[in-house]
Chain A
């Protein structure tokens, strides 16, 4: 199931950046090249992931500031989502 969550999180990141999810690497930092999210786009990514988390665990959530951390990469992002879903 975790593999599905990883795939889904990369799908959301890809849809917000216009990058094919299959080309999104775990070590990509959200705020850095090539993803280059700014704080505004990270807020919207947080809302997408919030909806996804709540569809699995209605009592869990994710905060915008958790995604705005400077060195948060794709791996830490999906690990955070997995943790919130409770898997």
Chain B
């Protein structure tokens, strides 16, 4: 554990104080080739969450383990480029691995995601001489397809999901910025409402396929306790299994709190702590309670 912490601090320090470091050059290459790296591209817009490799302590067992959450967005394609709307499609590849014996997983995931923004957004306080079309509160639609190879169970899984969120420029509304008198960004929040379809072989019983649909309501809050340096994220999802024939339990809430530290006025590499309590939809939908120390990477 001490070696992990030392290595993480070394990487973070190296990135913070050396503009010619390996990570800086990697960052430039990613930018040039329109790659993005995050924790996941699950349509949640907390794709402000960085990708992470971390060491985790499981509160429900004596088992400590390693965890990887890595997602690549490989460029993006936009339609309706001459309209006051946007439809964006992009392929993604994700890898989620955990050696926790209570929530073991090793999944490689590929798919196509889309974003649909049907309206422009009005702004308050805009110069009256400028055009200000659109709506005060705009929907923001996201669709996600995932075709996963589960290396633990040696099966293929399918997940299709769609959700709607809302964005506004008006104070206290979803997506609007909270700032102090110095214009420092303090945070914003987003609600989500969505539906998911899952087809997962061997999820509960070997040889049986669990096929079920859930709806979910989610709130994600991003805040900066210390502007530029210390980020606190709160993420609560209530998920409900709609399928009567499924053996998955009906209510599947999950709560995630994460604290991320980014030294040196940059946000590409940082040190983080994450607490998760609830039913993990990236694993076996079983109840977990974990704390993690992690290295965050976001390009």
Contact = CB atoms under 8 A, between A and B. Distances in A.
Interface of A: 8, 11-12, 14-20, 23, 32-36, 38-41, 43-44, 46-48, 50-52, 54-55, 61, 63-65, 69-71
Contacts of A47: 84-86, 117, 120-121, 134
Given A19-B179, A43-B88, 5 more contacts: A8-B127, A14-B125, A16-B169, A33-B265, A40-B175
For the residues of B in contact with A, the DSSP-based class is loop
B282 interface: no
Nearest to B77: A65
B31 to A, nearest CB: 5
Contacts of A39: 45, 47
B48 A38 contact: yes
A22 B115 CA distance: 33
B1 interface: no
B216 interface: no
Nearest to B81: A61
Nearest to B127: A11
B185 interface: yes
Interface of B: 27, 30-31, 34, 45, 47-48, 76, 78, 81-82, 84-86, 88, 115, 117, 120-121, 123-127, 130-134, 138, 140, 165, 167, 169, 171, 175-177, 179, 182-185, 188, 190, 227-228, 265, 267, 299
A17 B81 contact: no
For the residues of A in contact with B, the DSSP-based class is helix
28 contacts: A8-B130, A12-B126, A14-B125, A16-B123, A18-B171, A18-B177, A32-B267, A34-B179, A34-B183, A34-B184, A36-B177, A36-B185, A38-B47, A39-B47, A43-B115, A44-B117, A44-B121, A46-B86, A47-B120, A48-B121, A51-B120, A51-B131, A63-B78, A64-B76, A64-B88, A69-B31, A70-B30, A70-B31
Nearest to B187: A36
Most buried by B among A20, A44, A52, A54: A44
Nearest to A69: B31
Contacts of A69: 31
A43 B117 contact: yes
Nearest to B125: A15
B228 A71 contact: no
Given A38-B45, A47-B85, A52 B130 contact: yes
Contacts of B120: 44, 47-48, 51
A82 to B, nearest CB: 16
Contact of A18 (B121, B134, B176): B176
B37 to A, nearest CB: 11
Nearest to B90: A65
